[in-house]
Amino acid sequence: MPGTGKPWVDVEQARTTAAGKYERNFGEWAVVGGAGVVVEFPLHPPTEQAALANQGEAIAWVKSWRDAGLEDAVVWAPRRWASLGTQQVPDRLRLTGAVEVARFARRGSTGHASARESRHCCRRSTAARWLKL
């Protein structure tokens, strides 16, 4: 959670990470095809001690991932805690396909590249074709 010293990755931080990966890779994805792209990173869920110390924040963090509308993209994992019992927590984010990455990163209204990105992508695609000649 930003500014709190907690390593838990919240939804907006994950969007920023996905946007960075998208920005760095969309040109290549356009050339090779983006359907097989997988962008995955850990969400660093709270430890038992952190969850006990910040129960309200930990509950809100889990709820925010549950409500993010990402369905199968959030990988949930059990945590067996002595004080809190077994809990299912968001463990990783796994976005499959360039369109899903773009949509989550809020790049274009339907996950498609903006006009600027499309022009940049076309220039990179043309350059890649020249390199293969």
The C-alpha atoms of residue 23 and residue 102 are separated, in whole angstroms, by 9
**pLDDT tens figures, 17-62:** 999 999 999 999 999 889 999 999 999 999 999 999 999 999 999 9
Structure tokens at 50: 């952190």
pLDDT, averaged across the chain: 84
Structure tokens at 2: 């930003």
Q: Mapping DSSP to helix (H, G, I), strand (E, B) and coil, where does residue 107 land?
A: coil
**pLDDT tens figures, 60-71:** 999 999 999 998
Structure tokens at 97: 């396909």
Q: Give the sign of the dihedral formed by CA 10, CA 13, CA 19, CA 22.
A: negative
